[in-house]
Chains A and B, each alone.
Chain A
């Protein structure tokens, strides 16, 4: 848990006839983080040929994504992992697959074209509807063409036998026609069209022997016309919706087929991806990669079984391989599930280098303590805890990032509950005695302190002690990392190294001495020399050492140059000036940087004090809203609103500040973050 998972490198050679079985087994096991065999710097690797797949993984992926796109129509998205069965893996014929998908696409497109045609009809009728709303009275429209309207309204008769072809002829134009009455063999119609279509409409009317008539009753027909229009529009929209439903049905009917296709494509894609890392000779195939050391035996057994023991497997520890850079070894976190939210915080920052400290458990402790100190209220903490807990239950299908965030909120809530009990704060009220000291009482100047905690300055002091502890821990972790990486120069002479630690400790002592002597006196000169002067002088050796030592590589023995060391430069007359300037800058960075980092932790106290102050303010507002000191409904509403605001604002603030302190003040001391993520090719791979 404290260190990343130990890894091993495998270099394997198998016979060409066994490649298929071996590839399937590698995919089934899903533990190999493959590397190109040429990354192993050696003469022989350069002579290997590449294994060319029949179909590229990229083309397979493209077709696979096409299927995903279809499935999205019905809100289905296949998931890698358990649903993929290697026994069903078969060769893909991308051309045939895409032809079949083209056929499906064509069916869908046909429905969309019909929807579009219906939309055209709808637009035409909506045009008329818009114009009709401008009309006061249809009867007036028949008699006198209103200059404000763009409709032509006509009443007339045609033979009843012409009704159907008449309606068909008007279909292509935005129009409404109402059958008013039938008389002998004549039908009386009210026809409403757009004025801009007068010419076309006239032709149609002439064709069917239209005869204008007086229709005095037309005056009250606007609602009827509007109703007719609404009916037509409703029919069209319903048909449109049924087309949309048919699109969904077409995909649903083919869901099983699509999912089966998808699964086979996905497995082929992963299979091809694995083989893209293979290299070959005349009769063998070579590949290499990293996996967790704990999976070595299982993979070896599986590969020997798959190749009927006709394989050569060579295993290496990272330390054996001089030419391998630590940062190229993939890193797998080894944290228990309950630390997943904090691992997410670490991964958001960066991936630690292989073999160095995984800060996840430390971040968990530090983050929660910081949050608790800033948000110390049991009531508010309980609310956060409940929200986070319920969220994880309700949103089981959410992305892992969202679920981790909800888990983090749960943890923060728990931390706040503990802090609230310790400081005796329950929704800003002292319902129970604090286990340590009364935070509210101290902030409001009402006492409640205990031991050395008497006033706000004591609270600030606590946070400074906390900051010193965190920074000190960071330095210690850095020494461990540098020892693991055998970067001796940096271990001794870096500002994060032993000398830096010496100076930091000395700085703390000096600062406390100064404060304890009423800000009037520093430690004696001799003491100051041993504390700060000597290490400063020792640091003067760093720039020339970095300059003259050969550019170091990781591993090896003896003093190594730092990885950030410059390539060999020429020594000139100005070079000693460069050394001096570098030393001065480093001194400034050490003195100002450590001071700033330590004082930065005072924000923990600041936010805690702000939390208390806000609650006190809302209490006072509630009392003001009340009636002669008694709380009314209004007062309780103010309190509820105030608590909600404090939980939201302070919660967000505390969360962000805790993250900042971890990232900037803590990680900056030891976390190099130059690692490579462990990404094995497996059936569970998401990309």
Chain B
């Protein structure tokens, strides 16, 4: 059996089945229009997300249901890992690091709330994911830490300590630089792992990851410019490199001169003509413009994913597509 088929046939079948169980837009629409949370959650009963209804019925706590869902997803990826080997396994582990990094960000935010803002974290601490994904985040030690140095000590056995250490000085005022550093670390790690993939897989992975980075950068651009009013020389280094369509120069020009909407419009015109009608409502106040841009970006990602799903089935695309669709 050819290697790609041997490698991907089972994973492809498994993830395709999972994709088919994703919530339809009809059901999502019904849930949004439900008159109460109970009624919205009830709609999930008997379906692929039955676990949300089940946990909510038992605890009345939607966050517990979300946590359970997250655990289930991570278990799925762990299961998929068991079917992979070599560079694919390393790549998937890099992908799943996203969950760990998000969990770490939540943990740091709780620490910040308690130690810097002096808020109670009694309730929120219970919703942290305590299962180990790749590294032990030493959650209790971080939560107990009185200062950022103690946090770094607690995270010493993970690669994340070195990532956030250079930004420790700002931790007394804001976590923003730490979080950006973690995002940079994630994408850098991901892109590095693509170098070990076979050429076809590398091409697909670089494209999808690059598009995701583009969308992340555009989203940040809008926020930095319109909401945080950061100057260009502070904002540009925060952009993630390795984008597919937008390089640093374009981002800089967008930030410095043109409106972000124009950048997005240019991107659509060049690469995603089918989405042009979506931008017809651009303009108006900042928040609605941001919402519109985010929607357009989401559609761009969906277009890329659909393109992958209709392409060659025995490649890394199915794994990435599943990750992205789940995230969105």
Name A residues whose Cβ lies closer than 8 Å to a Cβ of B: 62, 65-66, 69-70, 72-73, 98, 101-102, 105-106, 108-109, 111-116, 118-120, 123-124, 126-127, 130-131, 150, 172-174, 195-196, 240-241, 243-244, 247
Contacts and interface: CB of A to CB of B under 8 A. Distances in A.
Given A72-B46, A108-B36, A123-B125, 5 more contacts: A65-B30, A109-B37, A112-B37, A112-B38, A244-B58
B36 A119 contact: no
A123 B64 CA distance: 10
Contacts of B122: 120, 124, 172-174
A116 B59 contact: yes
Nearest to B62: A116
Given A109-B37, A124-B126, A172-B122, A69 B59 contact: no
B126 A240 contact: no
5 contacts: A69-B43, A72-B42, A105-B36, A114-B60, A240-B59
Contacts of B141: 150
Interface string B22-61: 0000000010011111110011011000000000111111
Contact of A105 (B30, B38, B64): B38
SS class, residues of chain A in contact with chain B: helix
Given A69-B43, A173-B122, A247-B57, A109 B36 contact: yes
**Residue among B61, B141, B144 with the most chain A CB within 10 A?**
B61
A195 B125 CA distance: 14
Nearest to B39: A69
A66 to B, nearest CB: 7
A120 B144 contact: no
A78 B37 CA distance: 23
Residue among B30, B42, B46, B60 facing the most chain A CB atoms (10 A cut-off): B60
Given A124-B126, A127-B126, A105 B39 contact: yes
B114 A243 contact: no
Contact of B38 (A109, A126, A130, A195): A109
A112 B114 CA distance: 28
A104 to B, nearest CB: 9
Between A62, A72, A130, A172, the greatest number of chain B beta carbons within 10 A of the residue's beta carbon is seen for A72
Smallest CB-CB A-B distances: 6 pairs: A115-B60, A123-B126, A112-B60, A105-B36, A116-B60, A119-B61
Contacts, number: 86
Contacts of A195: 144
B315 interface: no
B192 interface: no
A66 B35 contact: yes
B198 interface: no
A240 B60 contact: yes
Contact of B144 (A118, A126, A130, A196): A196
B140 interface: yes
B38 A119 contact: no
Residue of A70, A109, A119 with highest tally of chain B CB at under 10 A? A119
Contacts of B30: 65
Nearest to A131: B140
Nearest to A98: B35
Interface of B: 30, 33-39, 42-43, 45-46, 56-61, 64, 114, 121-123, 125-127, 140-141, 143-144
Contacts of A111: 60
A79 to B, nearest CB: 16
B232 to A, nearest CB: 41
Given A123-B123, A127-B126, A173-B122, A106 B36 contact: yes
A115 B59 contact: yes
Most buried by B among A69, A101, A243, A247: A69
Contact of A126 (B39, B57, B126): B126
B123 to A, nearest CB: 5
A126 B130 CA distance: 12
Nearest to B122: A124
B60 A113 contact: yes
A119 B64 contact: yes
Contacts of A106: 36
A244 B38 CA distance: 12
Contacts of B123: 120, 123
B43 to A, nearest CB: 6
Contacts of A115: 58-61
A204 B226 CA distance: 46
Contacts of B58: 115, 240-241, 244
A196 B38 contact: no
B116 to A, nearest CB: 14
A120 B126 contact: yes
Contacts of B43: 69
B57 A102 contact: no
B60 A119 contact: yes
Contacts of B46: 72
Contacts of A102: 35-36
Given A119-B59, A243-B60, A196 B39 contact: no
A112 B35 contact: no
Contacts of A150: 140-141, 143-144
Contacts of B34: 66, 69
A243 B38 CA distance: 14
A73 B126 contact: no
Contacts of B61: 115-116, 119-120
Nearest to B41: A112
A70 B38 CA distance: 9
Contacts of A109: 36-38
Nearest to A123: B126
Contact of A127 (B36, B37, B57, B125): B125
Contacts of A123: 123, 125-127
A73 B121 CA distance: 33
B125 to A, nearest CB: 7
Nearest to B45: A72
A244 B58 CA distance: 6
Nearest to A115: B60
Contacts of B144: 150, 195-196
Given A119-B60, A119-B64, A101 B45 contact: no
B159 to A, nearest CB: 23
A102 B37 CA distance: 12
Contacts of A243: 60
A489 B123 CA distance: 78
A120 to B, nearest CB: 5
Given A98-B35, A109-B37, A119-B61, A69 B140 contact: no
Nearest to A247: B57
A485 B112 CA distance: 78
A195 B42 CA distance: 39
A645 B83 CA distance: 25
A116 B56 CA distance: 9
Contacts of A196: 114, 121, 143-144
Nearest to A116: B60
Nearest to B125: A127
Contacts of A119: 59-61, 64
Q: Which of B34, B42, B64 has the most CB of A within 10 A?
A: B42
A620 to B, nearest CB: 28
Nearest to A149: B140
Contacts of A113: 60
A123 B33 CA distance: 31
